[in-house]
Structure 1
């Protein structure tokens, strides 16, 4: 087994491997299965239901637009349905896995080793579990990062004007998916500059083409963000910048980074350790041609560089909070980096084939766990998606044929669109939310008390008032746990 810089006789993708077939079938099944076990949308999907519609340069809630652009475009074809949202999410996840596999093969890994590095992504809990259970924009961030990785690998192999344009567009897609994808893009470029063969390509005229394309694709949204700073900065408090002092905050941030990285990669490291132990008699000294190959040096260095840049970001910004899912663009190539590091040191690919099998088995085992969690919840707490939104819609619709739904968040307006896609959802994080108000208007919120202060404030700004409106209070049951209810109140403004 060698790690080669030679261009393969057949390009990756001209022949579907068993691993790629498994990925395609797996995520297609997941899209259907999760649709069947769900009643309504959770928080992230409800947010998308609220935003789906005409494309805008940006949206609220400190989120970048890529996922919503894709969801809106697919909904134009398939309609606004819960299944549509799952097709978008699991299609993006499938593209992540496929891009990682093909990109690694373009950089010189064999089919078996690349497949193992790809399938081992299932061993990363924030991706294998959390990205399937919830999340939207984070999925767009890692999918876009994987596209940038594949486009980079193709550009390094077959540098041309076309490959440079595709690389620039893929970089822009990653950066429009999630802000933390910027760490991966920066690490990708910096790592490539440490490899002579890749440095020559990046610093050539093709590198200028890629940069110009990326900047051109990013400029419209960047200008929108400058004009909507409130929407861009709406959730930056989650980073807890300098909340506990400049030194203590940075120390805490570094501690959370270390903890998050360990939790992120722990199952992966266990499976790799088992593989190496079983292959302990099959080790060999790698040849200089293998360890000197450009693809080998790049893949082995990429994740450490990304982690180093994350550390630098914490030290510069002073953030004291780091969640493991924020590390997805930083660590999603950790399995491939480990596979690349050990491939030249093993005399047989049998260990990588075993790793592929066990990674795929873990993915299959996750299926019933995800189904149960999304259907019944955990710790006796049912998932918000199982709330009986249909009862709320029917009762409110029987009182008035409303055209728009206003709330303090996307959960209720978003789920209402599953019953009537023509409804106009409105919540306070939406830019220009007041311009979306239509009458008759349904005003709805969780709880059996007065509405949250943001709702009267929005209504007042639109010259509306709940003072004379009849407020209806009801309790919605969770369909899979009927003994559990949640109070909801609404008022109708004709």
Structure 2
């Protein structure tokens, strides 16, 4: 594809058109990077792997004091259980224990598991992009867009435990569901049900994302027509079979320990029904922007510039494929459900990582929309460029952190 000349209309040689002309060489380099393969491996994923390997090495060599989540895992990884810390799901601790069998160092096992999960997450987003029939550049934007969400691009490299597995397997569920829309075999239904169960075993609030997916399936006729009752039964059997023992463990007198976590939510913190809701709404908006604001900002800027330069496709949103419509609807429905829960419960304090299962596939949805909106691919190349810069910046941040800054 000619990355500088393929346009629907021609912008002026000055202004935005001049900007595109002056950055054409850089744009072409980004296009080559985003489309390149190293054998069977997409170069953007190789780049992500190298970034994570560098940050893993920095962590292992510098051995910074473990944070709260890491200390919790160090305390719990000594035994196998159906759940940990009162009501925490078991999957992430199981993964760490499996890795520890190989690396034979508890803290190193925590770091290896963390960066492996994050790399698998980037790979899953890339595969979701391809399942949405995006170009390699669009799929690269889906993967590197993770670095434009600070809670994932930086914070998840530094901390978190159960949330990591929750967002990985939520993304895997969405990938399995997208595969299911094309290949409706019993095996794909079982894969979808199993990945949904693993998402819940990663983090229980993944149920919000699964509910959003169910709402999207009900709302969209194309999805409803694609589903089969026998297949959904097979998916439900796989889901319940995986969750049966952990749910029995949870129900056996441990649900009451949820009260121990109530302080995190700040229920009815202001003492006023209206003020509680306004406070919760304000914090919800703030945490949303903190989570995905940079990604949405870059995407909107790219769309605006494409519009000014005449690159934008008229009526683009009407051309979105059913898979993209499903993914965007699932994200929107789970986001709306989370907001409704906040307002109904009187929650006044939110944590950014609560958005993991809700917004983790947003980079893929954004990439799919931008690919339709700007057929030249420039908008997604901007996502790739900015994501790559922030990925490299995370290495610098870890190097600085070894000196004690930001610990």
Cα offset for 1:300? 3.0
Name stretches of at least 5 consecutive residues in structure 2 with no aligned partner. 2-36
Task: Pick the aligned partner of 1:312 from 337, 340, 343.
Answer: 340
Question: Whose helix fraction is larger, Structure 1's or Structure 2's?
Answer: 2
Residues 105-144 of structure 1: pairs in structure 2 closer than 5 A: 105-144=130-169
- How has the CA–CA distance of structure 1 residues 279 and 288 changed in structure 2, closer, same or farther, with 3 Å as cutoff? closer
The 3-state SS of whatever aligns with 1:235 is: helix
Shift of 1:374: 5.0
Equivalent of residue 103 in structure 1, options 106, 122, 128: 128
Alignment of 1:389-400 (within 5 A): none
Residue of structure 1 equivalent to 2:214: 189
Paired residues of 1:60 and 1:231 also in contact (CA < 8 A): no
Give the secondary structure class of the aligned counterpart of 1:348.
coil
RMSD: 2.3
Question: Per chain length, whose mean CA-contact separation is higher, i.e. which structure has more relative contact order (CA < 8 Å, sep 6+)?
Answer: 2
Name 2:319's counterpart in structure 1.
290
Instruction: Kindly indicate whether residue 284 of structure 2 is the aligned counterpart of residue 257 of structure 1.
Output: yes
Cα 1:64/1:354, change in 2 over 3 Å:
same
Looking at structure 2, the residues matched to 250 and 201 of structure 1 have their Cα atoms a distance apart, in angstroms, of: 39
The alignment of Structure 1 onto Structure 2 pairs a total of residues equal to 368
Where in structure 1 are there 5+ consecutive unaligned residues?
A: 2-11, 384-494
Match of 1:248 in 2: 275
CA drift at 1:274 = 3.1
Task: Determine the structure 2 residue equivalent to 1:71.
Answer: 96
Q: Deviations over 1:175-195 (max 9, x none)?
A: 111122111111122113333
**Is 1:276 matched with 2:276?**
no
TM-score, normalised relative to structure 1: 0.70
Instruction: Give 1:461-472 correspondences, 5 Å limit.
Output: none
Structure 1 296/144 Cα, relative in aligned 2: closer, same or farther at 3 Å? Answer: closer
**Aligned structure 1 segments of 4 or more residues deviating by more than 6 angstroms:** none
The Cα offsets for residues 240-298 of structure 1, whole Å up to 9 and x where unpaired, read as 2233244332222122101111222221122223322442321122468833x211312
Q: Structure 1 residues 349 and 16 mapped into 2: Cα distance closer, same or farther (>3 Å)?
A: same
**Superposed displacement of residue 148, structure 1:** 1.0
More strand by share: 1
Which aligned pairs between 1:257-406 and structure 2 lie closer than 5 A? 257-280=284-307, 281=309, 282-286=311-315, 290-291=319-320, 293-373=321-401, 375-378=403-406, 383=407
Contact 1:100 1:149 in 2 (8 A): no
8 Å CA contact retained: 1:253, 1:319: yes
**Paired residue for 2:112?**
87
Once the 2 structures are TM-superposed, how far is the Cα of residue 232 of structure 1 from its aligned partner?
A: 4.5
Q: Measure, in 2, the Cα distance between the counterparts of 1:19 and 1:323.
A: 30
Question: Does the 8 Å contact 2:52/2:115 carry over to 1?
Answer: yes
* Aligned mates of 1:271, 1:289 — CA distance in 2: 22
The structure 2 residue matched to 1:180, chosen from 197, 205, 210, is 205
Question: 1:56 Cα deviation (Å)?
Answer: 0.6
1:5-84 paired onto structure 2 within 5 Å: 15-84=40-109
| CA deviation string 1:80-136 (max 9, x = no partner) | 332221110011111111111102311322221121122111011111111111111
1:146 is the counterpart of 2:175:
no
